[in-house]
Every structure is written in C-alpha cells, then in structure tokens.
Structure 1
C-alpha cells in the first residue's frame, strides 16, 4: 500500500517538473510578429526604385575670354570696275547705238588707239610714244586712225575745227575743249571723255563734277583734214 502511494507521488512530481520546464522554455523563446503591410492588397507590387541620376562634370575648360562674333566680309568681286572697263562699256554702247562721229571702222581705230595709250604719263609738249600732252594725245590717236592734220595746240585746233551742236556733241570721236581752250580731249559719250590728264596720264573722266563748268565747247575736224576717214 505504501508502495503504491510512493509511486503515484513520483509520477505526479515528474509531471509537475515537465510542465514547469515547458512553460519556462516557452517564455524564453523570442516572439515572432509578422508585420502587416500598409499597401492595399488589390494593387500590384511597386517596381524597383529608380537609381539616382548622377551629375557629370564636363571636361571642357571654362573660357576666360569673352566670345566675339565677327561677321564675314562680303567677297570682293572677281573683276574690279576701273576707268578702262567703263571706257569699254561707254564705247560699246555708243557704237551699238550709232552715236559715233565717224564710220564704225574709223571709230574702232580711234578707240583702239586710245586703249593702246591707256595710262601713259602726261608730259607737256609731248606727242608720244612714252609721254603725251593733251593735244599730242589727240593728234597721235587720230593720225593712227587715218585722220591726218598738223599737230598744233588745243587753242589752234579749236580755231581750225567746225562747231557741233545738240546730240552731235556727245558722239564718240567728237573733240571737247576745256579750261579756256588750254585743254582738250576725245568725247566718249554724253557722260565723259578721254584725255591726257596731268595727274593720271591717258584716262577717262566724267563731265559731271570737276570738268562740268570748265567746258568751252565741242568741235569736229574739217572735211579736208579727214580725207581718208568717213564722217557720219
């Protein structure tokens, strides 16, 4: 009888010890709490966040001097207009329009004679070929064109020539007298004339401007002085 009581007490003590040990182990374990997401369950999961943009520093050096914009200059014309090019245009237009004092062939010889002497220096009393004065230039050109007369001063040639009026004054080949009969030249057209300039040599000058108020008159060589040339 005592043996049974002792057995029962042993069993009860063992059970009590087991329960106590289990309770202590449960208390010693960490509690794991599952977090609750704040994201709504009906939305798709968000994608990965974008990587931050890194600012790069340019390797180009900083300019210390101000930038100056220069406009390009227009290209220079390939052909520069000169007094000789204007002379060509004046003579060509006069010839085409028939505004010449002599025939086309004689007018062409006069023109070629002028161009052949273009730019030759002035020298008083000279008739060429390396220098000319005004009357020496006119005499030389006309003589080469077949219009022969005695070489005299501008004043003397004025007295020997026939006056012309109206539009005939501006026909190519007409003589123009200036500076109180101290100077003369060959008319190109209504705009200007060819002559031996003391500063430029054989050249073309416009009537307008310096010579405008220095013109004495216009004349043409008499018929007997032009026996080998045709007159218009």
Structure 2
C-alpha cells in the first residue's frame, strides 16, 4: 500500500536532477545622453489682428463720435465715415474723382457728395476760398477740412491726432498730424451752410 501511494506521488513530482540556477535580477542602467537637454521657452503667439492704419482710424472715429466731436450730425458723420472706409486704399491719381482713383480734392468731394453735402468739385485752393475758417477745438472735430502744403493738399479731420486723405504713395489712408505733416498745415475750414443744405451741422 505504501509502495502504491509512493509510486502515485512520484509520478507527479518533478524529476530529480541538478537544481536550476537562481535567476539573478540585474538593474539596467539608463543610457547616457551624449547631447545635453535644452529647454526652449515657447514664444508668445502673434496677435490675431494687427493694428493697422485702418483699425486706428476706426478707433479715432468711434472716440470722436462718442464724445460728440463731429462737425455734423451723427447720421451725416456716419455717412462720411462709411464713404472714407469704402474708398480705403484706392490709389491716388492727380485730377481724379473716382471711383478707381482719387486725388485729394476729388476724394473729399466724392465722400461729402455721397453723404449729402453738395458742392462743386474744385481744387483744394479754391475750396479753401469758399470755406469758412474754424478755430480752437472745432478744428479737430471729425468732418472738418484740413488744408496743407501751401493749399496744394487737403483732407478730412479724424480728430486732434490725424486726418484722412488721398496720399500720392498710399492712396486713401489715415495720417497723423505729428511728424511729416505737422509743419505743413495751413489751416482748418468748414463748408458754408448753403453748401450743406441736405446735411445737419453741429
């Protein structure tokens, strides 16, 4: 009986023999980097909208309108402004009144005419003679006319900082008074009442 049981258990025991060598756990060392790690600081993302002359013009007009610094009523001032923006960037051409090119007086005449302020298209010098002078803070109300370069150039005042005009190099644009134009200003004028019968004047 004992032999039977022994034979039975012997059949399920692992065969005798030399014991297997114990498994040795080795710790692998991390590879050595030949080049140093350089942490690059991320650069700030570029702004989605760049500040341009056009965006500055929008801000100037909006500020003037909110503050009531306009030569005409809000509705007429808005038509003048929309007329300027509709012509933004159109090239300069001497003697032209649009729609594909403008000179300085042609630009002013076209914008004012579309806003319901009607007058005969003349040169900057002639329009100076037909207009009424303004002084003090009235000079910088949006819609006032500014005359420059010995009455050889003119534009539309945005505010105390600059004006809209037909530039020979940039076309219809906005320029600051300070700098190039600062010493070229002859004066500021406004169209007489009879020339603006369809527009409200402040």
Question: TM-score band (shorter)?
Answer: 0.7 to 0.9
Within a 5 Å distance, the mapping from 1:111-126 to structure 2 comes to 111-126=81-96
What is the TM-score normalised by the length of structure 2?
0.83
Go from structure 1 to structure 2 and tell me whether the alpha carbon gap of 1:59 and 1:88 turns closer, same or farther (over 3 Å shift): same
Q: Give the Cα–Cα distance (whole angstroms) in 1 for the partners of residues 73 and 55 of structure 2.
A: 23
Residue 210 of structure 1: how far off its partner (Å): 1.1
Segments of 5+ residues of structure 1 without an aligned counterpart are 1-42
Structure 1 segments of 4+ aligned residues over 6 angstroms from their partners: 43-57
Aligned length: 190
- Tell me which moved more, 174-183 or 80-89: 80-89
Per the TM alignment, residue 87 of structure 1 is displaced from its structure 2 partner at its CA by 1.0
Hey, what does 1:139 align to over in structure 2? 109
Is the alpha carbon distance of 1:230 and 1:59 closer, same or farther for their aligned partners in structure 2, counting shifts above 3 Å? same
TM-score, with length taken from structure 1: 0.73
Structure with max Cα Rg: 1
Greater relative contact order (Cα 8 A, min sep 6): structure 1 or 2?
2
Change beyond 3 A, Cα 1:57–1:146 = same
* Cα distance, 1:62–1:157 mapped onto 2, change above 3 Å: same
Which one of the candidate residues 55, 61, 80 is aligned to 1:110? Answer: 80
RMSD of aligned Cα (Å): 5.4
Using a 3 Å threshold, how does the CA distance of structure 1 residues 45 and 225 change in structure 2: closer, same or farther? same
Q: Can you give the 5+ residue segments of structure 2 that lack an aligned partner in the other structure?
A: 1-12
Call closer, same or farther: CA 1:140–1:56 in 2, change over 3 Å.
farther
